[in-house]
């Protein structure tokens, strides 16, 4: 069986769904068994944020891999990966709101105003929310393909704001190794799209 055919099999996508769910399930088990270390609240916040960023990177990888490797079936995975990115980002925000600010709305607003990395985190969630809400076929039909595609380009902005959130969060501890690694990945994936767009602009029209 060819790889393209294998990736289009329902069982393959179900397996990927289970695999992408594992980090969350692992965190739930560790939290229930007191296995998150001396600061479990911070471990939950950091881990869910890391997984949100990883899911954004995986989502951005779909189109370059589909085009460069001629794996058309990968296009069907983009929606699932994007929804996982939103899910982990939403859980990340919820953990922060519950554990860091005890659901105190005034304290959360004050954080957004005073702390740039909190502002970027909230902005990322705001950018991802309409993408999650319109990730279904009914939304594509209602919006029309062109408007739907334009709306879902917000994922590019979300990847940048998420990186800024990560960068400014790590700046307090001067720990940038992972930041530069993720920045390199996102820059390469967005750069690939810019190059494709420039090539399309230069190609002669018949």
What is the 3-class SS of 24-45, one letter each residue? HHHHHHHHHCCCCCCCHHHHHH
Q: What is the pLDDT of residue 65?
A: 94
For residue 1, what pLDDT band results from cuts at 50, 70 and 90?
low
Of the chain, the percentage scoring pLDDT greater than 90 comes to 78
For residue 124, what pLDDT band results from cuts at 50, 70 and 90?
very high
Residue 203 pLDDT > 70, yes or no? no
Q: What is the pLDDT of residue 5?
A: 83
pLDDT in tens, 154-164: 999 999 999 99
Q: How much of the chain is helix, strand and coil, in % rounded to 5?
A: 85, 0, 15
Take residue 175 and report the two structure tokens written for it: 């720990």
Q: What is the pLDDT of residue 133?
A: 95
Of the chain, the percentage scoring pLDDT greater than 70 comes to 98
Distances (CA, A) of 142 to 130, 131, 137: 14, 14, 9
For residue 8, what pLDDT band results from cuts at 50, 70 and 90?
confident
Q: Which residues of 131-164 are buried (b: 16+ CB within 10 A; e: fewer)?
A: bbebbeeeeeeeeeeeebeeebeebbebbbbbbb
Q: Which of 90-94, 173-177, 181-185 is the least confident region?
A: 173-177
Please give the Cα distance from 82 to 57 (Å, whole number).
10
| pTM for this predicted structure | 0.93
Q: What is the pLDDT of residue 105?
A: 95
Q: Rounded to 5 degrees, what angle do the CA atoms 85, 43, 158 make?
A: 25
């Amino acid at each position: 069986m060819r790889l393209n055919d294998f990736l289009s099999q329902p069982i393959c996508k179900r397996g990927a769904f289970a695999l992408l769910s594992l980090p969350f399930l692992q965190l739930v088990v560790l939290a229930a068994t007191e296995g998150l270390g001396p600061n479990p609240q911070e471990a939950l916040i950091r881990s869910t944020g890391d997984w949100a960023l990883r899911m954004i990177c995986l989502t951005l990888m779909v189109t370059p891999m589909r085009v460069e490797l001629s794996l058309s079936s990968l296009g069907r995975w983009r929606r699932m990966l994007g929804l996982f990115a939103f899910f982990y980002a939403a859980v990340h925000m919820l953990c922060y709101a519950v554990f860091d600010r005890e659901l105190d709305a005034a304290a959360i607003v004050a954080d957004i105003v005073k702390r740039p990395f909190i502002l970027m985190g909230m902005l990322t969630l705001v950018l991802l929310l309409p993408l999650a809400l319109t990730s279904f076929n009914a939304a594509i039909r209602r919006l029309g393909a062109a408007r739907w595609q334009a709306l879902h380009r917000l994922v590019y902005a979300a990847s940048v704001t998420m990186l800024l959130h990560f960068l400014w969060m790590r700046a307090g501890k001067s720990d940038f190794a992972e930041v530069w690694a993720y920045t390199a990945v996102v820059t390469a994936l967005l750069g690939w799209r810019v190059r494709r767009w420039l090539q399309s602009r230069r190609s002669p029209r018949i």
